[in-house]
Structure 1
Amino acid sequence: VFRKKMSSSRKHHLKSLMLQIAKGLLEEEERDREVQRTRYMAENCPPLSFNFPAPEELCREIHRKVDTIDEERYDLEMKVSKSNKEIDDLKIKVQDLMGKFKKPVLKKVRMSADAMLKALLGSKHTVNLDLRANLKQVKKEVKEEDKELRDVGDWRKNIEDKAGMDGRKKMFEAEA
């Protein structure tokens, strides 16, 4: 397919026509937006009616209202500060009634259990917390029957002699 090249003047002419058409479309679009905006405002925002008294009178009325509110605020602040002062005075009176001295901050003291019990119970009571001393001591009693059995039939006694080594093991151990 053979395409013929377009001359530059023709290109320029077509480009200007396209720009004119686009400009017309943009202007029409802007007019439509403006019409929609005015219609929306008319539907949703009714026009303001100025039935107010003169602006100076309106400002005076607003100033009077602000002054009365400021006076009320000042009165309330004074009442609050007065009550806070009364509360502080009552706290001081309560502290005076409870005791004239403040309790000191207690320090940690390392103390043994015996010393603590002596301090709590007084020096008359001596309590010893040595638990091993309070344990009951049990002596191992060996029955006479067990002694006889051990003498007669104890296979562990002189095991080297019964093994037939005749004390040679002890001899080798002494040399080494």
Structure 2
Amino acid sequence: MPKCKISASCKLSLKILLLARATEELEAEKAAREEEKVCYLGEKLPPLQLIGLNTDDLQKLCKQIHAKNEMVDEERYDCEAKVIKNNRDELTLEMGDWRKNVEAMSGMKGRKKMFLMHDVRD
């Protein structure tokens, strides 16, 4: 059965259509993420009601916001520390102890011992 050949102009048209479709999908994903972000922030950060608050109430509100900010900053720091530690641990696992792997990496696969035994016997 002969292969189906597509002309260069058809290939170009298909590429253009695929790129246009991919661009549309990326824009839709971006809009969905932005909408999700707005909804999330709306839930987590309700709008401040500052009208009618006296000085003491404003100070209490500022202290509450400052406390929440510190808590979030500590969580961010802890997450960063975990990521750094995890990356460091993965690098250690990848490298491992080089002395244990010297024979395995040398490609001798036990032949080194065989040569040493011949030298000892002779």
Q: TM-score, normalised by structure 2?
A: 0.39
Q: Which has the larger radius of gyration?
A: 1
Q: Normalization by structure 1: what TM-score?
A: 0.28
Higher helix share: 2
